[in-house]
């Protein structure tokens, strides 16, 4: 909300005056590389993957070293257990394990003599009812946009991540929220951005993932950082649910998807 207000005020002032940006050189320190782990397991019947990379210094190119030769296992509290295959450098995939809501999944990674562990419980599936196309009930502009609609369950404590794909391409607009302010009601929301341009015939896909508290905490802190260092207080590395000193997160999440063609 705060960023939103500031954004509006600055946008208006920018039109009135001239607010200017320029690229500058900042002398930044170098860092000790850290392992970055991303793993997602869902209720869909498919192969899941865990990727392991490393961080680099700010001044380097965005080529993140991929970590090969790690031993990656995923197990659950109902007796499933699988050691993942390294499909390509740094990418480890499952072949048999199933994601079932309510179960707790455990990730174990060994890289050399270092061990990283994480656990995540897959929340109950919340079904995405429909997508609709209408003018936003609030926000900038009067153009029609895609809204996603679902009934938020009456039980408190659900956290969501909503992703938007246009013509199969994931847009950089993931929304993370919980039911703290909107428990048990019918939700109808749009992605809030001036950057989305829906065109006639676009295939629009939205996926609603129900995530657990640890993952929500991580993704929420990550989304606060996305505002830029000066926007959301003092930035800090998001609190990961992986222990052992790695960046990233491991999420067992239930997912519901809908698709619509923009008329």
Q: Which of 92, 45, 42, 91 is nearest to 207 (CA)?
A: 42
Give 75 or 235: the residue with its C-beta nearer to other proteins. Answer: 235
User: Does residue 184 belong to the site contacting other proteins (CB under 8 A)?
Assistant: yes
Of 41, 111, 128, 187, the residue at the interface with other proteins (CB under 8 A) is: 187
What distance in Å separates the CA atoms of residue 34 and residue 123, rounded to the nearest whole number? 29
Of 132, 149, 189, 193, the residue at the interface with other proteins (CB under 8 A) is: 189
User: Does residue 131 belong to the site contacting other proteins (CB under 8 A)?
Assistant: no
For the bound state, the minimum distance from the C-beta of residue 42 to other proteins, rounded and expressed in Å, comes to 14
What distance in Å separates the CA atoms of residue 195 and residue 192, rounded to the nearest whole number? 9
142-171: which residues touch other proteins (CB under 8 A)?
Answer: 142, 170
In this structure, what DSSP letter does residue 221 have?
A: H
| Token pair belonging to 129 | 């009812």
In this structure, what DSSP letter does residue 35 have?
A: E
3-state secondary structure of 97: coil
Window contacting other proteins (CB under 8 A); options: 47-55, 67-75, 195-203, 255-263: 47-55
For the bound state, the minimum distance from the C-beta of residue 181 to other proteins, rounded and expressed in Å, comes to 4
228 contacts: CB under 8 Å, gap ≥ 6: none
Give 13 or 127: the residue with its C-beta nearer to other proteins. Answer: 13
CA Rg, the chain, in Å? 20
Contact status, residue 118 vs residue 246, Cβ threshold 8 Å: no
User: Does residue 31 belong to the site contacting other proteins (CB under 8 A)?
Assistant: yes
User: Does residue 230 belong to the site contacting other proteins (CB under 8 A)?
Assistant: yes
User: Does residue 98 belong to the site contacting other proteins (CB under 8 A)?
Assistant: no
Q: How many residues sit close enough to other proteins to count as binding (CB under 8 A)?
A: 78
């Amino acid at each position: 909300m705060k960023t939103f207000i500031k954004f509006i005020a600055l946008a208006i002032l920018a039109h009135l005056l001239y607010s200017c940006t320029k690229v500058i050189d900042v002398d930044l320190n170098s860092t000790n590389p850290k392992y970055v782990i991303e793993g997602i397991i869902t209720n869909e019947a498919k192969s899941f993957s865990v990727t392991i990379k490393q961080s680099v210094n700010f001044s380097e190119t965005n080529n993140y070293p991929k970590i090969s030769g790690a031993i990656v296992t995923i197990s659950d509290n109902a007796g499933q257990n699988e050691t993942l295959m390294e499909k390509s450098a740094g990418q480890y995939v499952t072949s048999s394990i199933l994601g079932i809501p309510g179960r707790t999944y455990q990730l174990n990674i060994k890289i050399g003599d270092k061990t990283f562990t994480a656990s995540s419980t897959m929340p109950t599936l919340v079904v995405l009812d429909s997508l609709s196309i209408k003018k936003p009930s609030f926000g900038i502009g009067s153009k029609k946009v895609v809204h996603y609609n679902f009934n938020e369950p009456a039980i408190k404590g659900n956290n969501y991540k909503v992703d938007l794909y246009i013509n199969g391409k994931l847009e950089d607009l993931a929304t993370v929220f919980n039911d703290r302010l909107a428990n048990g009601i019918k939700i109808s929301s749009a992605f809030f951005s001036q950057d989305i341009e829906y065109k006639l015939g676009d295939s629009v896909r939205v996926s609603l993932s129900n995530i657990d508290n640890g993952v929500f905490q991580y993704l929420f802190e990550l989304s606060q950082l996305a505002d830029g260092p000066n926007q959301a207080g003092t930035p800090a590395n998001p609190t990961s649910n992986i222990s052992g000193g790695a960046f990233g997160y491991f999420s067992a999440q239930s997912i519901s998807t809908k698709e619509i063609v923009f008329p």
